[in-house]
Chains A and B, each alone.
Chain A
Amino acid sequence: MTAIADTAILTGRSLRHITRSPDTIITTALMPIAFLLLFVYVLGGAIDAGADRYATYLLPGILVITIASSVSYTAFRLFVDLQGGIFERFHSMPVARPAVLWAHVLTSLVATLVSLGVVVLAALAMGFRSSAGLGAWLATAGILAFLTLALTWLAILPGLTATTVEGASAFAYPLILLPFVSSAFVPTETMPGPVRWFAENQPVTAVVDSVRALLAGEPVGADLAVALAWIAGILVVAYALAKAAYRRRIG
């Protein structure tokens, strides 16, 4: 009970950090929106799908990139927080220890969902259209929130162990690049052998294909189960590693 109250109080604190510097939400959304613009209006011309249809095709991958770029800010915020003395103050107080990390995790969820909303609005302006009903939208939000939770715990790890600010957020680069070797931007059939094999068997493709089907109002196949299994697996491993790193860090 007190752990939940502590988490709520500390989440309020870090959410206030975000509302005090909303630029982090904007920067988080900026790169995915830039990718969207680039693909739809620059590269999209070479693809005869048409701008509207290509924006619709791209959005799921762009949303994965948004999550990756957002959680890198979580690592950054945690790192900065640990540099100051305030963490030690909390640790010397009768505050439930897990609350200190969970506050960062919940803040990351909120900030990421806001960024995702901004990116979806930008995509709508570029011609993205969806025939999905409320249920499909809720399912999409659920998958993306679950992915955010897993990648946030992954981000906690560099936040706890990095020795420089750059190191804390650099882990996100591979995450941001992963969608490029997936079904996010071009169908995997166009890729050469080994690349295609990798693209078809990595988590982003399963997530992107599920979300794409949901937003198109089509039935989701086995992709959804594969996507959820990947996310759950990442979550369990990242959570365990983060907990261990936290215990080592606070001695």
Chain B
Amino acid sequence: MTAPAIAVGGLRHSYGDLDVLEGVDLEVAPGTIHALLGSNGAGKTTLIRILSTLLKADAGEARVAGHDVASAPAEVRAAISLTGQHSAVDDVLSGRENLVLIARLRRVPDPGAVADALLARFGLTEAGARRASTYSGGMRRRLDIAMSLIGDPRVIFLDEPTTGLDPEARREVWAAVRALADGGTTVLLTTQTLDEAEHLADRIAILHEGRIIVDGTLAELKALIPAPTVEYVEKQPSLEEVFLAVVGAKEMP
């Protein structure tokens, strides 16, 4: 087996007295899509921020694309791209200018052509010349994701990428993510919509009470339900909710 694209071991983080991550272990294989589930406040964004070098862990180890996030953050940044939970676009610039800016910062040849291709791919060609502040929430999200694809990063973090998107835009994003993985990019994404994890992810991990309590393929996760662990599940209401939702996702609209 090849070395994992993301390897996390015993990762801990707390904000003051609030322990958020209490020993997270996670491995993501290269070229796969890994979904991270967890209730609100479980610490998904915190984990993503540590992996993308925006936050320092209190303890434990995290390696991304073979580099340690604590001791080699510059190498990690050169290998990754982040679409945060909250949009990271420049409101004053137009959509096209935003893309050109990122392309220039990443030293991509012909930034203008890269920007135009991405605008077309995400249905933003007509809005490309308009200021990003005039975009709808979904358009802004699509621009945000498009900005993260520039420069062919080896590992992409997507924190709730499709929140606020209409079904069509969501499928467009799914197709883009799928194409990335097919091209060898590793994707770690968080999501609240379980059918997204079900449709998109090769593996699904559930973060709960500071730890990854389940990690496997959809089939493996479904197999957990009739297993003896069902009693353990019932003692954890929020976990139960997640499991039932995963199993019952097909009935959801």
Contact = CB atoms under 8 A, between A and B. Distances in A.
Interface residues of A, number: 21
Contacts of B3: none
Interface string B55-91: 1100000000000000000100110111010111111
Nearest to B79: A94
Contacts of B82: 88-89, 92
Interface stretch (B100-108, B122-130, B219-227): B100-108
B214 interface: no
A17 B77 contact: no
B-side interface mostly: loop
Given A16-B92, A16-B93, A9 B53 contact: no
B89 A86 contact: yes
Contacts, number: 61
B87 A85 contact: yes
Given A89-B88, A94-B74, A94-B78, A13 B101 contact: yes
B92 A17 contact: yes
Contacts of B147: 89
Of A86, A92, A251, which is in contact with the most chain B CB atoms at under 10 Å from its CB? A92
Nearest to A5: B107
B185 interface: no
Q: Interface SS of chain A: helix, strand, loop or mixed?
A: helix
Contacts of A250: 54
Contacts of B55: 251
A84 B56 contact: no
Interface string A55-98: 00000000000000000000000000000111011111111000
Interface of B: 52-56, 74, 77-78, 80-82, 84, 86-93, 97, 101-102, 104-106, 147
- Lowest 9 CB-CB distances: which A-B pairs, in order? A85-B88, A89-B88, A92-B82, A94-B78, A92-B52, A94-B77, A17-B92, A85-B86, A9-B104
